[in-house]
């Protein structure tokens, strides 16, 4: 664990401060995802949902050669036919966060009888304490920032006489969003017939587990396959007392009942100040933060702030899982898995029919990565071998402007190139000459492409600029599909759009192989 921690203090106007706090919160190492695939209609209209799921089941039967009728019936009744092989379920997922939810949806689509065990709230950190409410707050802060930036507004010819905000209104927007999405999720799982089992899930042995309060009332069930999807919790370094009011983690940040005038954001980094102790505010006294020199361990200063947000990372949550019952030892807290998310025991052997996805395995602590891993596991247990290419998974940070990335960083690419003996090239384009960005007075930003000039392979793309979190998908799709630069550079982009930044990026790369002709198709008559 990293013990040297950087400390940043912010003291602008109250509103700007709140924006900073939430931005930073959104940049915790766990941007998280909630896959809604095929959920919307289910959540909003039960009838449509049943139709949709039965149609899917029907389609799948073309391959599985099992009876359409029984599957459709099963889809209407619950989720798939009774488990084959005498198990209570084909698949039991421990944890109904983003990863578990994505896996459950795909399992139903594949006709698996599925249950999900949740010991807290459906939606997990992402929906309830993470990216969902924080995005609501970011939307507010973005608008507030603009309203208060007189120079920016004037450059558009706009005048704003007075702008304020209502703390409760802002908080309501975030809470309403979280609650709406949590309900959508729960309803959709129910509509698709996934059994939601309440309590802590504990693995008793291969293909066997229990759930409940951890007492004699627990129910024992069997499953052909089990997925651990228990996620993570905020990591609080030793010596910090979190009171949830003045010294908080991201779990509390979204529920703060006051707007602190001064807030310290404590995040990991490499600055030469080590932070050792935080005392919460008490009896009218402020939060005390002692700063110690990282090298000499000498005290340097004491800071007094109204609140401190501890954003020093996240730790896997595996409490009560019963890993000891199957001889699995965590590594730095994480459940060890192979590239197919199969759990590895203390002897280095695969635990049969046990998988772990998402933050708990530590492979890539992003919600949409958890969901993708879940889908990959379901593909496998349905008989299709599948290995997820993590280098094609995009990541986004919802700062202003946004940051996004996919694949390797430049140092990673150069290290790989050194090892495997190929050349690495870099291309860059700017938002400064993008018509749409300039029209919006948002010309700050750039995009960077890391690639192999010998064969046009895209190794990584990094974007910093307006809508970067959306723009990255052209690049991540290209990596996922193995599309080379000499092909994608001929894909036409609408004008005037921000996506032209990517178009220019691909066009400006210098690939040594000829243009492929995959995009040169005759115009249909």
Which residues contribute to the annotated binding site for NAD(+)? 267-274, 313
Cβ-contact 204, 218 below 8 angstroms = no
Closest approach, Cβ 318 to a copy of itself, in A, equals 22
| Residues in 158-187 that interact with a copy of itself by CB under 8 A | 158-173, 177, 180-181, 184
Which of 225, 222, 197, 194 has its CA nearest to residue 79? 194
The residue from 14, 298, 432, 454 that contacts a copy of itself (CB under 8 A) is 432
Q: Which is nearer to a copy of itself, 253 or 278 (CB)?
A: 253
> CA–CA separation, 216 vs 232, rounded Å?
27
Backbone angles phi, psi at 521, to 5 degrees: -105, 150
> Should residue 76 be labelled a site residue for a copy of itself when binding is judged by CB under 8 A?
no
> Should residue 77 be labelled a site residue for a copy of itself when binding is judged by CB under 8 A?
no
The residue from 241, 258, 416, 454 that contacts a copy of itself (CB under 8 A) is 416
495 part of the active site: yes
Beta strands in 47-129 (DSSP E): 89-94, 114-118
The residue from 285, 300, 349, 495 that contacts a copy of itself (CB under 8 A) is 495
Q: Which is nearer to a copy of itself, 286 or 456 (CB)?
A: 456
Q: Which residues are annotated as a binding site?
A: 135, 201, 230-232, 267-274, 313, 359, 365-368
| Residues in 186-225 that interact with a copy of itself by CB under 8 A | none
Cβ-contact 26, 130 below 8 angstroms = no
Q: Under DSSP, is residue 331 helix (H, G, I), strand (E, B) or coil?
A: strand
Phi/psi zone of residue 403: left (φ > 0), alpha (ψ -120 to 50 degrees), beta? beta
Closest approach, Cβ 522 to a copy of itself, in A, equals 5
Q: Which is nearer to a copy of itself, 316 or 407 (CB)?
A: 407
> CA–CA separation, 495 vs 499, rounded Å?
9
Cβ-contact 127, 104 below 8 angstroms = no
Closest approach, Cβ 362 to a copy of itself, in A, equals 14
Q: Which is nearer to a copy of itself, 38 or 206 (CB)?
A: 38
> CA–CA separation, 475 vs 477, rounded Å?
5
Closest approach, Cβ 485 to a copy of itself, in A, equals 12
Closest approach, Cβ 263 to a copy of itself, in A, equals 19
Closest approach, Cβ 412 to a copy of itself, in A, equals 10
| Residues in 467-486 that interact with a copy of itself by CB under 8 A | 467, 469-474, 476-478, 480-483
> Should residue 232 be labelled a site residue for a copy of itself when binding is judged by CB under 8 A?
no
Closest approach, Cβ 352 to a copy of itself, in A, equals 22
Q: Which residues are annotated as a binding site for FAD?
A: 135, 201, 230-232, 359, 365-368
> Should residue 153 be labelled a site residue for a copy of itself when binding is judged by CB under 8 A?
yes
> CA–CA separation, 266 vs 246, rounded Å?
13
Which of 276, 252, 359, 261 has its CA nearest to residue 313? 359
Closest approach, Cβ 125 to a copy of itself, in A, equals 12
> Should residue 447 be labelled a site residue for a copy of itself when binding is judged by CB under 8 A?
no
> CA–CA separation, 480 vs 368, rounded Å?
15
Characterize 205-216 residue by residue with b for buried, 16 or more Cβ atoms within 10 angstroms of its Cβ, and e for exposed.
Answer: eebbbbbbeeee
> CA–CA separation, 227 vs 104, rounded Å?
10
Q: Which is nearer to a copy of itself, 57 or 203 (CB)?
A: 57
The residue from 5, 20, 52, 240 that contacts a copy of itself (CB under 8 A) is 52
End-to-end alpha carbon distance in the chain:
63
| Residues in 350-409 that interact with a copy of itself by CB under 8 A | 366-369, 371-372, 375, 379, 384-396, 404
The residue from 19, 140, 227, 377 that contacts a copy of itself (CB under 8 A) is 140
The residues near 265 (Cβ < 8 Å, ≥ 6 apart) are: 7, 8, 9, 10, 20, 21, 24, 308, 309, 311
The residue from 5, 7, 22, 31 that contacts a copy of itself (CB under 8 A) is 31
Q: Which is nearer to a copy of itself, 14 or 482 (CB)?
A: 482
Q: Which is nearer to a copy of itself, 132 or 200 (CB)?
A: 132
> Should residue 11 be labelled a site residue for a copy of itself when binding is judged by CB under 8 A?
no
Binding mask 310-349 for a copy of itself (x = CB under 8 A): -----------------------------x----------
> CA–CA separation, 490 vs 500, rounded Å?
12
Please give, one letter per residue, the 3-state secondary structure of 176-237. HHHHHHHHHHHHHHHHCCCEEEECEEEEEECCEEEEECCCCCCEEEEEEEEEECCCEEECCC
Q: Which is nearer to a copy of itself, 400 or 473 (CB)?
A: 473
DSSP 295-321: TT--EEEEEEESEEEEES-EEE--TTS
Binding region for a copy of itself (CB under 8 A) out of 254-262, 306-314, 349-357, 513-521: 513-521
Sign of the alpha-carbon torsion through 457, 460, 463, 469? positive
CA distances from residue 240 to 21, 104, 235, 300 in whole angstroms, order as listed: 19, 37, 11, 18
CA angle 124, 215, 203 (to 5 degrees): 60
From the CB of residue 457, how many other CB atoms can be counted at a distance below 10 Å?
18
From the CB of residue 459, how many other CB atoms can be counted at a distance below 10 Å?
24
Which of 12, 10, 22, 28 has its CA nearest to residue 305? 10
| Residues in 268-307 that interact with a copy of itself by CB under 8 A | none
The residue from 9, 37, 271, 346 that contacts a copy of itself (CB under 8 A) is 37
Give me the catalytic one of 10, 101, 400, 495: 495
Q: Which is nearer to a copy of itself, 146 or 277 (CB)?
A: 146
Closest approach, Cβ 43 to a copy of itself, in A, equals 6
> Should residue 71 be labelled a site residue for a copy of itself when binding is judged by CB under 8 A?
no
The residue from 67, 84, 435, 455 that contacts a copy of itself (CB under 8 A) is 435
The set of catalytic residues is 495
């Amino acid at each position: 664990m990293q013990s040297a921690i950087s400390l940043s203090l912010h003291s602008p106007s109250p509103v700007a401060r709140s924006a900073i706090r939430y931005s930073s919160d959104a940049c915790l190492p766990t941007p998280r995802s909630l896959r809604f695939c095929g959920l919307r209609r289910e959540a909003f209209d039960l009838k449509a949902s049943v139709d949709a799921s039965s149609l899917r089941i029907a389609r799948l039967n073309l391959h599985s050669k099992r009876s359409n009728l029984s599957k459709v019936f099963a889809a209407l009744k619950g989720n798939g036919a009774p488990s084959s092989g005498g198990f209570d379920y084909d698949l039991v997922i421990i944890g109904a966060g983003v990863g578990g939810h994505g896996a459950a949806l795909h399992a139903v689509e594949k006709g698996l009888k599925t249950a999900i065990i949740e010991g807290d709230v459906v939606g997990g950190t992402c929906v309830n304490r993470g990216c969902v409410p924080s995005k609501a707050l970011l939307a507010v802060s973005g608008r507030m920032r603009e309203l208060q930036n007189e120079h920016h507004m004037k450059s558009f010819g706009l005048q704003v006489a007075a702008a304020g905000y209502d703390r409760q209104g802002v908080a309501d927007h975030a809470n309403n969003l979280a609650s709406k999405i949590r309900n959508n999720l729960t309803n959709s799982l129910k509509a698709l017939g996934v059994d939601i089992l309440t309590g802590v899930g504990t693995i008793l042995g291969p293909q066997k587990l229990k759930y409940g309060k951890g007492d004699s009332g627990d129910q024992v069930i069997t499953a052909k396959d089990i997925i651990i999807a228990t996620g993570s919790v905020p990591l609080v370094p030793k010596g910090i007392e979190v009171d949830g009011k003045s010294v908080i983690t991201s779990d509390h940040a979204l529920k703060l009942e006051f707007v602190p005038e001064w807030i310290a954001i404590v995040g990991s980094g490499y600055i030469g100040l080590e932070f050792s102790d935080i005392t919460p505010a008490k009896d009218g006294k402020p939060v005390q933060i002692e700063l110690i020199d990282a090298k000499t361990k000498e005290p340097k200063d004491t800071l007094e702030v109204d609140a401190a947000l501890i954003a020093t990372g996240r730790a896997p949550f595996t409490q009560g899982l019963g890993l000891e019952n199957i001889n699995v030892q965590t590594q730095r807290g994480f459940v060890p898995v192979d590239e197919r998310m199969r759990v590895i025991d203390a002897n280095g052997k695969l635990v049969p029919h046990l998988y772990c996805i998402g933050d708990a395995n530590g492979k890539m602590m992003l919600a949409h990565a958890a969901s993708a891993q879940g889908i990959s596991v379901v593909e496998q247990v349905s008989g299709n071998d599948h290995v997820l290419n993590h280098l094609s998974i995009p990541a986004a940070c919802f700062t202003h402007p946004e940051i996004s990335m996919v694949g390797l960083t430049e140092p990673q690419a150069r290290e790989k190139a050194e090892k495997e003996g190929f050349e690495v090239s870099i291309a860059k384009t700017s938002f400064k000459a993008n018509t749409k960005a300039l029209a919006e007075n948002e010309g700050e930003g750039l995009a960077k492409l890391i690639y192999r000039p010998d064969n046009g392979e895209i190794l990584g793309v990094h974007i910093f600029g307006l809508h970067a979190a959306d723009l990255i998908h052209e690049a991540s799709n290209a990596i996922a599909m193995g599309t080379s630069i000499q092909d994608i550079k001929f894909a036409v982009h609408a004008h005037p759009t921000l996506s032209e930044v990517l178009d220019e990026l691909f066009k400006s790369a210098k690939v040594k192989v000829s243009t492929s002709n995959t995009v040169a198709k005759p115009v249909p008559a």
